[in-house]
């Protein structure tokens, strides 16, 4: 590997390295959603049968993310991140060249494996490179791809399918991946643990199986015919597997995920509170296009363009979020901003065909601002009181639950809308609009309720990150 330049240069370019990889990952989680009907026609299968193309990617992420921290400690962040981006880029090409549905599913699984290593390893490298007083600025930059990727995915996918072949969807990431590999070689530090812990195979099997089954169940529920008894049995099995993992993790000397880190208040509130918040916010990339297309009667490409203001606002907020957090602190910002995010979601329940487009754009801008500030705060506060020796494990836990919450958020939005639709035909615009309006109110209410988790913070929590102040004595309570 080439020698790295000075630390100032590394700090300047490292956020770009991580952000480019995370953008690929987040974009790919939603970009094919609008292309499924076209892909199904090209591969001579039914659109419903291609649901596995979406779920296979999400399931492989849930299974493989927990092992990424161990791999980084064992083989080094530079090597693992390079391999992850390489696997993701190559598998993207293979997805675009797939000749049948089974090959497409297999390559999507491979793509998910590469993506699973990128998020936690990239985040770990940022945490180890930047001092805690600099961490907010770095995280503020890196979080942008995670916000705009799911929003841009349906837009880009819809435009590509409208004008080009669906295969181009998978080739979009190739130049980004190549650029990322060049940047990794020049600017990615190589951190590793000289005394790497052994891999917890039992924990990997228990957690991987439980998380995969739960993710699959939530993704397919409402899309396939599955009777309540079977669904209940599968849900029970997945919860038992996850409970067994929890017991195993407490007893193991080297657990796959060290649950004892949840004793650190700032980490616990960030991860758990962020998980609940994403259940509400995570449904928007799925529900908003439905509102615009079915409720307002807009074509797919115009619907996609209405998602752009949210992405633009998310990028714009990065110029203000650091100053806001320095002025008010994590506790006050998260309590107030979570409520504002929930109210912004509820506001979409008022959108009808008579609503001016300018007002819809303003609502999207507001949602983007609040979401950006929310996740910048959550992701940076998580490491405020984490010791350097625990940063790898903390990054793995945070990335695992973040990915699961985003997937669950999409499923939650779908399930709630289906519940309110109550079996009415999806061609009935009035019924669909009514169901979507009530879904927005439900998800917004859930987001507002999640603000209660941030009341447990103290005013001084995270000051070493938000204000560069000396960290107070850490309270594990």
On whether both 219 and 148 belong to a single domain, the answer is: no
> Does residue 162 carry a pLDDT above 80?
no
On whether both 435 and 360 belong to a single domain, the answer is: yes
| Of residues 32 and 380, more confidently modeled | 380
Final residue of a domain: which of 236, 255, 274?
Answer: 255
Give 205: exposed, middle or buried? Use CB within 10 Å, 0-12, 13-18, 19+. Answer: middle
On whether both 166 and 221 belong to a single domain, the answer is: no
Token pair listed for 39: 């892909």
Stretch 334-351: mean pLDDT, rounded?
A: 93
pLDDT tens per residue across span 282-339? 778 778 877 887 778 777 667 777 877 887 888 788 778 888 888 888 899 999 999 9
> Does residue 56 carry a pLDDT above 60?
yes
> Does residue 277 carry a pLDDT above 60?
yes
Instruction: Give the pLDDT band of residue 472 (cuts 50, 70, 90).
Output: very low
> Does residue 367 carry a pLDDT above 70?
yes
- Cβ–Cβ < 8 Å for 107, 54: no
pLDDT of 475 reads: 39
Least confident of 100-104, 154-158, 230-234, 382-386: 154-158
On whether both 285 and 187 belong to a single domain, the answer is: no
| Of residues 409 and 174, more confidently modeled | 174
> Does residue 471 carry a pLDDT above 80?
no
Distance separating alpha carbons of residues 396 and 73, to the nearest angstrom: 11
| Distant-in-sequence, close-in-space partners of 305: CB < 8 Å, separation ≥ 6 | 155
Cα pseudo-dihedral 82, 86, 89, 91, rounded to 10: -140
Stretch 139-164: mean pLDDT, rounded?
A: 72
pLDDT of 447 reads: 92
> Does residue 343 carry a pLDDT above 90?
yes
> Does residue 5 carry a pLDDT above 90?
no
On whether both 395 and 377 belong to a single domain, the answer is: yes
Distance separating alpha carbons of residues 151 and 140, to the nearest angstrom: 18
On whether both 134 and 165 belong to a single domain, the answer is: yes
On whether both 228 and 250 belong to a single domain, the answer is: yes
On whether both 437 and 339 belong to a single domain, the answer is: yes
> Does residue 122 carry a pLDDT above 50?
yes
> Does residue 152 carry a pLDDT above 90?
no
On whether both 221 and 206 belong to a single domain, the answer is: yes
- Over pLDDT 90: what percentage of the chain? 16
pLDDT of 147 reads: 65
pLDDT of 474 reads: 38
pLDDT tens per residue across span 389-429? 788 788 888 888 887 787 777 777 877 887 887 766 655 66
- Cβ–Cβ < 8 Å for 279, 446: yes
Distance separating alpha carbons of residues 349 and 311, to the nearest angstrom: 20
Give 14: exposed, middle or buried? Use CB within 10 Å, 0-12, 13-18, 19+. Answer: buried
What does pTM read for this prediction? 0.77
> Does residue 243 carry a pLDDT above 90?
yes
Nearest to 29 by CA among 143, 142, 124, 145: 145
pLDDT of 198 reads: 81
Q: What is the number of structural domains in the chain?
A: 3
Side-chain half-sphere CA neighbours of 298 within 13 A: 21
Instruction: Give the pLDDT band of residue 477 (cuts 50, 70, 90).
Output: very low
Stretch 432-446: mean pLDDT, rounded?
A: 89
On whether both 222 and 300 belong to a single domain, the answer is: no
On whether both 427 and 476 belong to a single domain, the answer is: yes
Distance separating alpha carbons of residues 48 and 101, to the nearest angstrom: 12
Distance separating alpha carbons of residues 197 and 338, to the nearest angstrom: 38
Nearest to 210 by CA among 242, 232, 248, 235: 242
- Over pLDDT 70: what percentage of the chain? 87
> Does residue 53 carry a pLDDT above 80?
no
Token pair listed for 38: 């076209």
Over 300-342, what HEC string results?
HHHHHHCCHHHHHHHHHHCCCHHHHHHHHHHHHHHHHHHHHHH
Token pair listed for 250: 């407490």
Q: Which domain holds residue 442?
A: 263-477
Final residue of a domain: which of 255, 271, 292?
Answer: 255
On whether both 6 and 138 belong to a single domain, the answer is: yes
pLDDT of 347 reads: 94
Question: Domain of 96: which CATH number?
Answer: 1.20.1250.20
Final residue of a domain: which of 198, 220, 238?
Answer: 198
């Amino acid at each position: 590997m080439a020698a790295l330049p000075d630390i100032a240069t590394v700090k300047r370019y490292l956020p770009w390295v991580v952000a480019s990889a995370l953008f690929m990952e987040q974009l790919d989680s939603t970009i094919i959603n609008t292309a499924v009907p076209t892909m199904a026609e090209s591969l001579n299968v039914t659109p419903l049968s291609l649901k596995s193309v979406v779920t296979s990617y999400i399931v492989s992420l849930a299974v493989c993310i927990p092992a990424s921290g161990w791999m980084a400690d064992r083989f080094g962040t530079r090597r693992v991140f390079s391999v992850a981006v390489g696997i993701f880029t190559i598998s993207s090409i293979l997805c675009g060249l797939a000749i049948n549905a089974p090959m497409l599913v297999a390559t999507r699984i491979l793509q998910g494996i590469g993506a699973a290593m990128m998020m936690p390893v990239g985040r770990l490298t940022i945490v180890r490179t930047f001092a805690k007083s600099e961490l907010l600025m770095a995280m503020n930059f890196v979080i942008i791809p995670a916000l705009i990727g799911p929003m841009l995915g349906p837009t880009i996918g819809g435009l590509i399918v409208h004008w080009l072949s669906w295969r181009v969807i998978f080739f979009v990431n190739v130049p980004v991946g190549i650029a990322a590999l060049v940047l990794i070689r020049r600017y990615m530090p190589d951190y590793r643990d000289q005394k790497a812990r052994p891999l917890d195979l039992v924990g990997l099997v228990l957690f991987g199986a439980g998380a995969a089954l739960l993710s699959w169940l939530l993704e397919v529920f409402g899309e396939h015919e599955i009777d309540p008894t079977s669904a209940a049995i599968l849900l029970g099995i997945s919860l038992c597997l996850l409970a067994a993992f929890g017991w195993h993790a407490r007893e193991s000397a080297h657990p796959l995920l060290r649950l004892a880190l949840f004793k650190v208040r700032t980490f616990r509130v960030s991860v758990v509170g962020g998980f609940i918040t994403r259940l509400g916010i995570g449904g928007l990339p799925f529900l908003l296009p439905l509102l615009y297309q079915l409720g307002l009667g807009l074509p797919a490409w115009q619907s996609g363009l209405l998602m752009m203001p949210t992405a633009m606002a998310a990028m714009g907020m990065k110029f203000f979020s650091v100053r806001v957090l320095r002025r008010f602190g994590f506790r006050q910002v998260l309590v107030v901003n979570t409520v504002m995010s929930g109210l912004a979601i509820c506001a979409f329940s008022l959108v009808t065909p008579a609503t001016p487009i300018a007002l819809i754009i303003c609502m999207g801008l507001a949602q983007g601002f609040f979401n950006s500030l929310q996740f910048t705060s959550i992701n940076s506060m998580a490491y405020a009181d984490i010791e350097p020796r625990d940063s790898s494990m903390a990054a793995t836990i945070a990335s695992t639950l973040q990915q699961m919450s985003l997937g669950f958020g999409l499923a939650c939005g779908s399930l709630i809308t289906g519940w309110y639709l109550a079996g009415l035909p999806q061609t009935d615009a009035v019924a669909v609009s009514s169901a979507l309006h009530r879904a927005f109110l439900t998800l917004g209410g859930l987001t507002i309720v999640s603000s209660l988790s941030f009341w447990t913070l103290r005013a001084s929590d995270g000051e070493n990150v938000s204000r560069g102040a000396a960290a107070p004595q850490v309270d594990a309570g």
